[in-house]
């Protein structure tokens, strides 16, 4: 038993929120993306590589369900798999990402066969899925709390991309506009879940470490994507 | 690359079906259950221990989804989680099993807190979940092909239990009557899935080994349950 006093809920949430500066919203590549400074090639490498992240999310979420013995939470988390995979083929977040890929000039096939996928993105995404498979479910849930920081960034992204890339239409950005609704409320339900199930100081610290790890996953993806966009 | 010729579909399915004699339908404990020879205490130990199997099925199925990169199959397999956990609390296969537990004289609490759970059942069920978490998804799917053998056994069970245990009402057996519908067609869709995705001889043999393993899981559960029913 730890003798260290747990944080109260407010302190714990503040400690999670304090990681916002490490969220990929501040990554130089995202700044260039928003400012309209990416070449078409860079945009394509960004979209094709991030696809690997998007298409792994259902497996990450299923790992959380597999590790969770609480039916209510499993029932709630199942919606995330449906969100990404869709209720039927051609529906869902993964499909919306593919639409964005096509808008920036990629064929669907060259996205699906992962020919543009660079090792740094693969390692980071695989590390995230492995984390969800091997850690207690509440830590894996906490790692997803980057959704606390996502809403504002995505709203800005839609405005900036429409303003700065003439060939992108509002419908092409359906992934983001749809996702803005999904993460509205800054992930409050997920934050509440983590607060409710991390009651010892040790559990709270593991949750903070999990969110920190996830910030690293995303940041590292953008480092690799940035490099991939530089033609040899 | 293996140089051994794969079985054709018919041979492969026949090899899977040949394992039916190892299915727990022929276990002496099931014979006694069907013949009305179990004491109330034995029935309670059976229901309370098998609960551990039932309540782990959603996590086993989520592991399969977590390991499966094919959205169509994930979408299809998701229904199994919903089947057991229910769309809402108080619904679903797990709930129907709890109803049966109550019918044989157990309090819901003494089932949920697992006080009657014996080690042999825990080990067998945990081995099954670990199998699903650590093996390729198609092997884990193949391990579930005991549903090929389940329909007939469950129809017989409903008839025999109603005939032989006066205190059990038809509604108490909702788990089985509902499940009979779910496995009607002898798991044809699942068999087809396994046949389609096990194309090399090696993959076919792994699928057969997976089903053999699952027969062992169930058989071993009944061995332990049989022993649990003998009062010290």
pLDDT in single tens digits along all 232 residues of chain A: 556 899 999 999 999 999 999 999 999 999 999 999 999 999 999 999 999 999 999 999 999 999 999 999 999 999 999 999 999 998 899 999 999 999 999 999 999 999 999 999 999 999 999 999 999 999 999 999 999 999 889 999 999 999 999 999 999 999 999 888 877 777 899 999 999 999 999 999 999 999 999 999 999 999 999 999 887 6
Evaluate whether residue A116 is within a structural domain.
yes
Q: Is residue B194 part of a domain?
A: yes
Q: Examine the predicted complex and report whether its ipTM is higher than 0.85.
A: yes
Domain that holds residue A168: 16-228
Which residue is closest to A72 within chain B, CA to CA? B89
CB within 8 Å: A58 and B67? no
pLDDT tens string B139-161: 999 999 999 999 889 999 999 99
Residue B2 domain-assigned? Answer: no
Q: Give the CATH number of the domain where residue A200 resides.
A: 1.20.910.10
What average pLDDT does chain B have? 94
Instruction: For residues B104-123, give the mean pLDDT.
Output: 97
Number of domains in chain B: 1
Asked if the structure places residue A197 within a domain, the reply is: yes
At B179 the pLDDT is: 87
Is it the case that residue B2 has pLDDT exceeding 90? no
Beta-carbon contacts below 8 Å between A and B: 78
Measured between CA atoms, how close is B140 to chain A, in angstroms?
13
Which chain A residues are within 8 Å of B62, Cβ to Cβ? 62-63, 65-66, 74
Helix pair B40-67, A40-67: axis angle to 10 deg: 170
State the Cα–Cα distance between residues A50 and A220, nearest whole angstrom: 12
Q: Which pLDDT value is given to residue B69?
A: 98
Q: Is residue B1 part of a domain?
A: no
Q: pTM for this one? A: 0.94
Express each pLDDT in B169-222 by its tens digit: 999 999 999 888 877 777 899 999 999 999 999 999 999 999 999 999 999 999
CA torsion through residues A10, A13, A15, A18, sign? negative
Q: How far is CA A20 from CA A25, A100, A149, A195, B213, in A?
A: 9, 26, 6, 18, 47
**Is B147 contained in some domain?**
yes
User: Is residue B70 left, alpha or beta, with left meaning phi > 0 and alpha meaning psi from -120 to 50?
Assistant: beta
Task: Please tell me the predicted confidence (pLDDT) of residue B1.
Answer: 53
Task: Look at residue A138 in the predicted model and tell me its pLDDT.
Answer: 98
Instruction: Confirm whether A69 is domain-assigned.
Output: yes
| Cβ <8 Å between A133 and B66 | yes
Predicted pLDDT at A232: 60
Do B149 and B220 form a contact (C-beta atoms < 8 A)?
no
Q: Which of A53, A97, A51, A60 is closest to A80 using CA atoms? A: A60
Q: Is residue B28 a part of any domain in this protein?
A: yes
């Amino acid at each position: 038993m730890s003798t260290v006093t747990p944080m109260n809920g407010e302190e714990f949430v503040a400690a999670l929120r304090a990681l916002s500066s490490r969220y990929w919203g501040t990554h130089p590549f995202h700044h260039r993306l928003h400012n309209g400074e990416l070449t078409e090639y860079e945009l394509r490498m960004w979209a094709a590589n991030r696809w690997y992240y998007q298409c792994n999310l259902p497996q990450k979420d299923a790992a959380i369900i597999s590790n969770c013995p609480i039916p209510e939470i499993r029932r709630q988390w199942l919606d995330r798999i449906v969100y990404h995979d869709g209720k039927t083929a051609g529906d869902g977040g993964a499909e919306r990402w593919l639409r964005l890929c096509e808008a920036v000039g990629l064929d669907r096939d060259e996205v699906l066969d992962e020919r543009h996928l660079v090792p740094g993105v693969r390692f980071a995404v695989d590390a995230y899925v492995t984390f969800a498979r091997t850690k207690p479910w509440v830590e894996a849930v906490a790692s997803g709390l980057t959704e606390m920081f996502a809403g504002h960034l995505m709203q800005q992204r839609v405005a900036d991309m429409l303003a700065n890339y003439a060939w992108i239409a509002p419908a092409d950005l359906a992934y983001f506009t749809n996702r803005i609704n999904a993460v509205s409320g800054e992930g409050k339900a997920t934050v509440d879940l983590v607060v409710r199930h991390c009651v010892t100081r040790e559990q709270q610290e593991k949750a903070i470490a999990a969110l920190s790890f996830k910030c690293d996953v995303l940041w590292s993806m953008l480092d690799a994507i940035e490099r991939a966009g530089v033609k040899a």
